[in-house]
Amino acid sequence: MERKKQSDFLNDIKLLIKFNVLAANVLPVITGFVLAIYITNARFYNYWFLFILALIGSTFVMAGALIINNWFDADIDSKMERTKKRPTVTGHFTDKQVLTLGIGTTALGFILLLAVNLETTLYAFIGWFTYVVLYTMWSKRKYTLNTIIGSISGAVTPLIGWAVVDSAVHPVPLTIFLLLFIWQIPHTFAIAIKRSEEYRAAGVPMLPVVYGFEMTKRQMLVYITCLLPLPFLIAQLGVLFIVIAAILNVSWIILALAGFWMKDVRKWAQWNFLYSVNYLVIIFLLLILATFPVSL
């Protein structure tokens, strides 16, 4: 019985911090740091401790933002199938407990980041403020632009990692910022198509709910096409990266075009969702591999 209680508690924590989302945001922080070491010819041993602080600090800030999102969106989550098991809906945690945990986690994260430098703290704050205030509290329930606004918060993560070593006002981290920002939009639209009826029931004005599937498919194609030039902006990462990234981009465009003649729109959206997840994993693995001497 005791083990089951511990297991249930850990599962509630995972749902509260949206573990999969959090993990996906930690990888770009690591990537940004690794690339900064490589591009600037810095010494890892000079920055390893600051990197650990930045990694833990940014993880806490992101977890805090996700917890506060759960606290604020409990009423919406209760109406959507995929979010009904969150502890804010089941009542396993009280609203006060969740809010206190979200604020405390956020504060601890910023304290750790301030020990690194102001630039990492600034990027983390931009991400936190955009997600909590501009997305969760302001735009999510009012505008279809909520997807674009929310995408900013997920795109700052490589800047945090890079800023541990050097200023992130540099073509490489800024290009990766753009890549993440653009990628999130068709990725989220694919989810919104799959879950359109749930979003409709919850009163969340996602693009396919307000303007329909055809408009959403056109916008997905536009944003995916915008990914095409990005690998060429960071050509110093090698031919291998450029070639594979270009193939991935063209393949995604072909998949996006297929949506205009496929009858099962939700099945097509599921394919796009799965492709987008694997796309991002491959891109970031390539970015890390580009720092190895064997890279072309």
The string of pLDDT tens digits covering residues 123-172 is 999 999 999 999 999 999 999 999 999 999 999 999 999 999 999 999 99
Tokens of 113: 């980041």
Any idea what the CATH number is for the domain that residue 18 is in? 1.10.357.140
Tokens of 59: 């993880």
127 and 194 in a single domain? The answer is no
Q: What is the mean pLDDT of residues 24-49?
A: 95
pLDDT digits (tens, 9 = 90+) for 178-226: 999 999 999 999 999 999 999 999 999 999 999 999 999 999 999 999 9
259 and 287 in a single domain? The answer is yes
H or E segment to which residue 38 belongs: helix 19-40
Residues 6+ apart with CB under 8 A from 24: 280
215 and 129 in a single domain? The answer is no
> In 10 A of CB 258, how many CB atoms?
13
Contact 72, 137 (CB under 8 A): yes
200 and 138 in a single domain? The answer is no
210 and 162 in a single domain? The answer is no
Confidence of residue 53 (pLDDT cuts 50, 70, 90): very high
Contact 96, 104 (CB under 8 A): no
- The proportion of the chain whose per-residue pLDDT surpasses 70, expressed as a percent, equals 97
How many Å apart are CA 265 and CA 98, to the nearest integer?
37
Give residue for tokens 């990766």.
176
How many Å apart are CA 258 and CA 148, to the nearest integer?
24
Tokens of 272: 């796009």
Q: Say how many domains are in the chain.
A: 2
pTM listed for this prediction: 0.94
- The proportion of the chain whose per-residue pLDDT surpasses 90, expressed as a percent, equals 92
Radius of gyration of the chain from Cα atoms?
Answer: 20
160 and 68 in a single domain? The answer is yes
34 and 156 in a single domain? The answer is yes
Residues 6+ apart with CB under 8 A from 140: 73, 146, 150, 204
124 and 110 in a single domain? The answer is yes
Domain stops at, among 166, 181, 200: 166
16 and 162 in a single domain? The answer is yes
Domain stops at, among 120, 143, 166: 166
Residues 6+ apart with CB under 8 A from 111: 57
192 and 122 in a single domain? The answer is no
Q: Which amino acid is at 251?
A: S
108 and 177 in a single domain? The answer is no
141 and 288 in a single domain? The answer is no
Range of the domain at 7: 1-166
Cα dihedral value 134, 136, 142, 143, nearest 10: 60
Domain stops at, among 166, 195, 221: 166
